[in-house]
Structure 1
Amino acid sequence: MNILDDALTWLNDPLNWTAPGGLIDRTGEHLAMTGIAVLLAALVALPLGIWLGHTGRGAAATIVAANTTRALPTFGILLILAAGGLFGDRAAIIGAAVFAVPLILSNTYTGVAGVDPAARDAARGMGMAPLRSLWIVELPLAVPLIAAGLRTAIVQVVATIPLAAFVGGGGLGVPLRAGFATQRYGQVLALGLVIALLCLAIDGLLSLVQRAVTPRPLRASARVRG
C-alpha cells in the first residue's frame, strides 16, 4: 500500500480514536493547550494594543519589538525553554503564547489607531471623557480587526502546538512524533490531515464568531464596499 492508503487505514481504525491517548484525548489536550496559550497572549496583547492605539505613545517601538519575536521560530523558542529546564505542556504553552502576542497586538493597535478621527471628535464634542470614548466609540469600531487578530492567532497556534511533543508535551503532536520515530509515514500523513482539518474547522467557526461580534452598521458598510 502507498502512504495515502496507510493514512486512510490508520484513520479508519476506531482504536486510534477511542483508546486512551487516542485522537479524541489528544485533540482535547491540543485544544486546551491552545486556549491557555491564546488566553495568556491576549492578557498581554489586548490591553497593550488598546492603550497604544488610543494614546499613540511608544507605539512604533513596541510593535517593532513585538514583531521581532516572529523572526524566532517557535521550535527555537521551545529549545531555548528546554535548555532552561522547562519541558512539557508548560514550555509549549509559553512558546505558543510568545508566538501569538504579535498577531494580537498588531491587529489590536491597528484597529484602535485606525478609528476615524471624526468619530473621536464627535465623542469629544458630546463631552465624553477619553476612557468613555474609548469604550463606547473606539473599541466597537475596532472590533473587526481585533477579532481578526484573535482568529489568526488561534488558528496559527493550533497549527503550532504539535511541536509540543518534541519537548515532552501532549496534544496531537504525540502520535505525530511516534509516526516519525517508527517511520510509519501513513500515520504521519493521517495526523497532518487531522491537524489541517481541525485548523479549517476552527477558522470557519471563528469567522462566524467574528461576524457576530462585528457591529451591524460595520457589517452593512463592508457589504456596500464589497
Structure 2
Amino acid sequence: MIGDVFGWFTTAANWQGPDGIGARLGEHVGYVLLSLVIALVIAIPVGLFVGHTGRGGVALVSIGNAVRALPTLGLITFLFLLFTESTTATVIGLVVLAIPPVLAGTYAGLQSAEHEVVDAAQGIGMTGWQRLWQVEVPIALPLVLGGIRNAVLQLVATAAVAAYVGLGGLGRFLLDGLAILDYTEVVAGAILTALLAIAFDLVLGAVQRALVPKGVRLAAKAASGRAVAVGGTA
C-alpha cells in the first residue's frame, strides 16, 4: 500500500487537469476560507458583545453546544434538499460548524481578562469601547486565535463532505476512490487532507505568535506555570 500511494503521488496525470491534485486542493481551500470568513463575521462580533457585557453567556454556551451536536453531513444533505444548490448548502453547513469554536474562544478570551485590570482601565477614564479594544481584546487574543485555529482544522477535515453533494475538493479522492474500490486513491486523499490541516495550523500558529503581545504571552506562560505548580503540590 505504501508503494502504491507513493506511486500515485508521483504519477504526473494525478496532478494535472480539473480532477488533479492542484485543482482539488484549490477547491478545498476555497471552501475552507469562504466558510471561515463568514463564520468570523458572525461569531466574533457576537462573542465580543457577550464577553464584554456579560449578557447572554448561558444562552451562548447552550446554543454552541447544541450546534456542535449537529451532524455536518446530515445538515448539508438537508440544506441541499432545501436549496437544491450544492455550494450554498455546503458553505452554510461549514459555517454552522465553524461558528461555535470561534464564538467560544472569543467569549472565553474576554471573560479571562482579570477584573482588576478592567476596573483599573475604567478608573483612569477609559470608555467601554476603549476598554474593549485596548485592554480586553489584547488579553483575549490567544484564546480568540485558538478558537479560529480549532475552527480551521474542523473545516479542513469536514469540507471533504462537499463531494457528497457533487462538489470538488479533496473529498472527491475519497468518494471516487470508494466508488471504484481504489483504496490507494482513498488513502492519498486522506493524506492530502491531513497535510493541508497541518499546513494551515502551522501558518495560523505563526500568525498567533506574531499578533499576540509579548506581555500577554509571558503572562499566559506564568499562569500556566503556576497552575502546574499548584497541581504538583496538591
Check whether TM > 0.5. yes
Q: For residue 40 of structure 1, what is the aligned residue in structure 2?
A: 38
**What is the percentage of aligned positions where both structures have the same residue?**
39
CA contact (8 A) 1:87 1:169 kept: no
Q: For residue 103 of structure 1, what is the aligned residue in structure 2?
A: 101
Give the whole-Å Cα distance in 2 for the aligned partners of 1:9 and 1:118.
Answer: 61
Other structure's SS at 2:83 match = coil
Q: 2:202 aligns with which of 198, 201, 204?
A: 204
CA contact (8 A) 2:173 2:188 kept: no
CA contact (8 A) 1:104 1:149 kept: yes
The residue identity in structure 2 corresponding to 1:208 is A
Give the whole-Å Cα distance in 2 for the aligned partners of 1:163 and 1:130.
Answer: 43
CA contact (8 A) 2:50 2:107 kept: yes
Alignment partner of 1:22 is 2:12: no
Q: For residue 119 of structure 1, what is the aligned residue in structure 2?
A: 117
Residue 212 (structure 1) shift: 1.0
Give the whole-Å Cα distance in 2 for the aligned partners of 1:44 and 1:86.
Answer: 24
Give the whole-Å Cα distance in 2 for the aligned partners of 1:205 and 1:167.
Answer: 30
CA contact (8 A) 1:164 1:173 kept: yes
Residue 88 (structure 1) shift: 2.0
Residue 92 (structure 1) shift: 1.3
Give the whole-Å Cα distance in 2 for the aligned partners of 1:6 and 1:183.
Answer: 14
Give the whole-Å Cα distance in 2 for the aligned partners of 1:48 and 1:223.
Answer: 28
Q: 1:157 aligns with which of 155, 158, 161?
A: 155
Give the whole-Å Cα distance in 1 for the aligned partners of 2:30 and 2:117.
Answer: 39
Give the whole-Å Cα distance in 1 for the aligned partners of 2:30 and 2:216.
Answer: 32
The one-character-per-residue Cα deviations of 1:82-129 (angstroms, maximum 9, x if unpaired) are: 221333222111111100110100110000112110111111111011
CA contact (8 A) 2:13 2:20 kept: yes
Q: For residue 232 of structure 2, what is the aligned residue in structure 1?
A: none
Give the whole-Å Cα distance in 2 for the aligned partners of 1:87 and 1:67.
Answer: 28
Q: For residue 133 of structure 1, what is the aligned residue in structure 2?
A: 131
What runs of 5+ residues in structure 2 fail to find an aligned partner?
A: 226-234
Residue 59 (structure 1) shift: 1.3
Give the whole-Å Cα distance in 2 for the aligned partners of 1:93 and 1:12.
Answer: 32
Q: For residue 213 of structure 1, what is the aligned residue in structure 2?
A: 211
The one-character-per-residue Cα deviations of 1:39-95 (angstroms, maximum 9, x if unpaired) are: 111111100000000011111112211220110111011111122133322211111
Q: 1:69 aligns with which of 53, 67, 70?
A: 67
CA contact (8 A) 1:120 1:137 kept: yes
Other structure's SS at 1:84 match = helix
Residue 34 (structure 1) shift: 0.4
What runs of 5+ residues in structure 1 fail to find an aligned partner?
A: none
Residue 220 (structure 1) shift: 2.2
Give the whole-Å Cα distance in 2 for the aligned partners of 1:166 and 1:77.
Answer: 12
**Alignment RMSD:** 1.3
Residue 132 (structure 1) shift: 1.2
Q: For residue 83 of structure 2, what is the aligned residue in structure 1?
A: 85
The one-character-per-residue Cα deviations of 1:121-170 (angstroms, maximum 9, x if unpaired) are: 11111101111111111111100000000011011101110100001122
